[in-house]
Amino acid sequence: DDFLATVAEKSDGAKLRGDYSKIDAQYVVAQDWDAYTPEQHALWRRLYQRQAKLIPGRACDVYIESLERLDIGDGIPNFEQTTEKLLQATGWQLVAVPGLVPDQVFFEHLANRRFPVTVWLRDPEEFDYIVEPDVFHDFFGHVPLLFNPIFADHMQEYGKGGLKALGLDGLGMLARLYWYTVEFGLIESPEGLRVYGAGILSSGGEIEYCLSNPAPRRIPFDVERVMRTLYKIDSYQETYFVIRDFKQLFDDTAPDFTPMYARLQSQEPLPANSLLAGETNLSNK
């Protein structure tokens, strides 16, 4: 299982793993695709093959279609080639970064339809477990959904919302929203629940667990409920929130969050395993 430091949690850059010596003002570096070794491409293929087997019947349709279109099974993808495809599809670009970047930088990239992708790949010993997002998580987990127009627009709005939240002390709440949607979100489909969260899609174990294990709560998505809820960073999630479709995600996050931030700041957050009175747990259906 992956332990993914979120963008909202990471800090000063102090103990981060990447090489930050060549960043520009937006923390962007050259991907330097030619510098990846044959061993690294081989490790990518192993990660890809393990994960691609788990995708059918578990990932949402949009993800599956985009993954095919991306054609990234042969080795670590070249970001420039993907950017060409993405620009045509939804106007997004990939930018290479050394690893986690400061909140404001991250939000500015998203607000301008640029998705930051970490350049380094985990070591073979880290096949199942990484302490920071690497190129496999960032690319395999996040990039396919950027081909969906509504999700792509949502990500840009999230970036703009992040910049706004910086001045409203709302970052902690926005981080929970990101965690329970973009990283660990589930979505309804006519055939049952499916995964769209990148943290799950890039995880060898949680992709099965989140759909089949009876233990975790699966609760219909509600923005305010999500922003009040703490999350686990070192184990599988105790709660998953389920959206009906990407339009719901876009529409429900569109209202001005300013009053909600103010209201939630005066409340204690809920533990990750809460189930409130009157709330539906889809796991029991």
Q: Which of residues 222-281 bind Fe ion (CB under 5 A)?
A: none
Maximum alpha-carbon separation in the chain: 56
> 173 or 193: whose CB is closer to ligand PHE?
173
List interacting residues with ligand PHE (CB under 6 A): 157-158, 161, 164, 177, 253-257
The answer to whether residues 110 and 155 touch, using CB atoms and an 8 Å cutoff, is yes
From the list ligand PHE, Fe ion, none, which binds 198 (C-beta under 5 to 8 Å, kind-based)?
Answer: Fe ion
- The least CB distance from residue 139 to ligand PHE, in Å, is 22
- DSSP run (H or E) holding 239: strand 239-243
> 136 or 178: whose CB is closer to ligand PHE?
178
> 132 or 183: whose CB is closer to ligand PHE?
183
> 18 or 161: whose CB is closer to ligand PHE?
161
232: CB partners within 8 A, 6+ apart: 238, 272
Residue 4 CB coordination number (10 Å): 23
**DSSP readout, 119-169?**
-----GGGTT--SS--HIIIIIIIGGGGGSHHHHHHHHHHHHHHHHHHTTT
- The least CB distance from residue 8 to Fe ion, in Å, is 11
From the list Fe ion, ligand PHE, none, which binds 157 (C-beta under 5 to 8 Å, kind-based)?
Answer: ligand PHE
From the list ligand PHE, Fe ion, none, which binds 164 (C-beta under 5 to 8 Å, kind-based)?
Answer: ligand PHE
Q: What are the φ and ψ backbone dihedral angles of 267, each rounded to 5 degrees? A: -115, 155
- The least CB distance from residue 181 to Fe ion, in Å, is 11
> 108 or 183: whose CB is closer to Fe ion?
183
1: CB partners within 8 A, 6+ apart: 128, 129, 203, 204, 205, 206, 235, 236
Q: Which of residues 181-220 bind Fe ion (CB under 5 A)?
A: 198
